[in-house]
Amino acid sequence: MTVGIGYDLHRLVPDRRLVLAGVQIPYPLGLLGHSDADVLTHAIIDALLGAATLGDIGQHFPDSDPQFSGADSLVLLGAVGQLLGATGWQVINIDATVIMERPKLAPHLPSVRQRLAEVLGLQLTQISVKAKTNEGMGYLGAGEAVAALAVAQLVPTAGVNCGV
Ligand code: MG
């Protein structure tokens, strides 16, 4: 069994959408980035790739590549799920925390978990997403950015992955 950790942060700016795990959250500001800047999905992708020692999101989906401009990060997550399957890995569980001062994420968490479970072909009981504020401290507390942390646990598929 292996564990991976992921972290990401994107600035909150005007004239952008606020998308977390593919769920668009109504708010005057949105996340700035080359793709849809889905900070939660990016942290989860890095946790999954890390657990499988398959590099990181920047190696697989470079932000210098025009094909990922405005990309739907759930599509990227789906591709990572396929890659894990092809390289002999099965996801046991994912646990993530989103750090954002506002808006309140709690009402959206059921949809967020549902979308992640669908894309990865997992049960809801395998995906946990939590939300915290930064207690008004620093740039996160000032609502200037959103950060996300994730851990993922993988197990090698019997007879396929001989590296563990
Ligand atoms: Mg990112």
pLDDT of residue 67: 85
CB count within 10 Å of CB 128 equals: 16
CA dihedral 131→80→72→41, nearest 10 degrees, is: 10
pLDDT of residue 63: 84
pLDDT tens for each residue of 42-59: 999 999 999 999 999 999
33-36-42 Cα angle (round to 5): 80
Chain-centre distance for alpha carbon 37: 10
The HSE-up count of residue 1 (CA atoms within 13 Å, CB side) is: 5
What's the token pair of residue 59?
């190696």
H/E stretch holding 24 reads strand 23-24
The DSSP result for 7-21, as a single string, is EEEEEEEETS--EET
Q: How many angstroms does the Cα of residue 11 sit away from the middle of ligand 1?
A: 10
What whole-number distance in Å separates Cα of residue 90 and Cα of residue 145? Answer: 32
Q: How many angstroms does the Cα of residue 34 sit away from the middle of ligand 1?
A: 8
pLDDT at 66 over 80: yes
Q: How many angstroms does the Cα of residue 46 sit away from the middle of ligand 1?
A: 10
pLDDT tens for each residue of 103-136: 999 999 999 999 999 999 999 999 999 999 999 9
Q: How many angstroms does the Cα of residue 9 sit away from the middle of ligand 1?
A: 6
What's the token pair of residue 42?
């990016």
Q: How many angstroms does the Cα of residue 159 sit away from the middle of ligand 1?
A: 34
SS3 29: strand
What's the token pair of residue 31?
């996340």
What whole-number distance in Å separates Cα of residue 142 and Cα of residue 161? Answer: 45
What whole-number distance in Å separates Cα of residue 140 and Cα of residue 133? Answer: 8
Q: Name which residue leads in pLDDT, 8 or 63.
A: 8
